[in-house]
Structure 1
Amino acid sequence: MNTQGSTKATNMDTLGDEFFMSADDLRKYMMEMKMAHVSQELNAMTKADEARRELIRSLQEHVDVTPEKIAELKQRLQGMIRRAAANGETETMVMRFPNALCTDGGRAINNTEPDWPKTLTGRPRQAYEFWKEHLQPAKYTLKAMIIEFPGGFPGDVGFFLSWS
């Protein structure tokens, strides 16, 4: 029995050494895990920032509006409008873009100033002009709204087409 008792003690010592970390090792492990998690979050944020910059760059470019593109856009909008109307809605968001595409960062839109269209640049400006020329005569209204407020500041802008 004495032999078994000493065997158990030896096994417990071995189990303790093999399977359990010291408190210092556990704290170090936890810190490494936290640092890895923070690093992943920073990498994701960096990738998101890069994607946002690329989106802004591409939306700042002027696109040649051909009759084919107008017809394609009208067809796409008609599908969006029909789906929304079938769901009993009277408006649908037709465009979303970063507030960096407004010369004032979206301030005029956020304050619903009547001259907010003057602040638009790039493709949002083209979208507004498309509405003005092709959709406003058909009695569609266009509303611009800040649709998110990261950190309490204006973020992305949404264009909403309405037929109510």
Structure 2
Amino acid sequence: MQRAILIQLLGFFITLSLFSCTRNGTVMLPATRVEITVKDGNSWAAFNTAIDVVSGAIVKLYDSESDIMSNKAPEYTAITNGALTASILVEYKSEYFFTVEKGNAANTINGLLKKGIFQTQAQIDASPVQIPAPIIGSPKFLDTNGDGIITPPLLMRYLLITLR
């Protein structure tokens, strides 16, 4: 069974302690702080719709999706800490791409970007068509090209963070 990790952006400019955080050895100015909370999609159940947060997940930020696909080293790396967030002091740019991993779990399945878990039939009915058809408890995927149909050819593998 493939494990799922969901990502939730909390906000910017909040300082927390980290286990680790690097940007090729230095931080460039002006800087801002990005905080990412990682949630375990496998902790969802019909009787427990709260999704557990994850400690020890590795969050990597990249300048571009091609940097990820070419196995270039990430610009920044952090690990979710005891407060269950990865807090990363970054050079202020308009956007970064990121991946999240913990063991065999990652924030994509077969190249599709996960954005949540279906908790009700109403959520399924209100979402873009997914192939195969989802059931309650299935991952929600992001319709990256906006055509209303989510199929494996949607190859947006990595989530984009936009800083404002």
Larger strand percent = 2
Larger helix percent = 1
- Is the structural similarity TM-score above 0.5? no
Q: Which has the higher contact order (CA 8 A, sep 6+)?
A: 2
TM-score by length of 1: 0.22
TM-score by length of 2: 0.22
Larger radius of gyration: 1
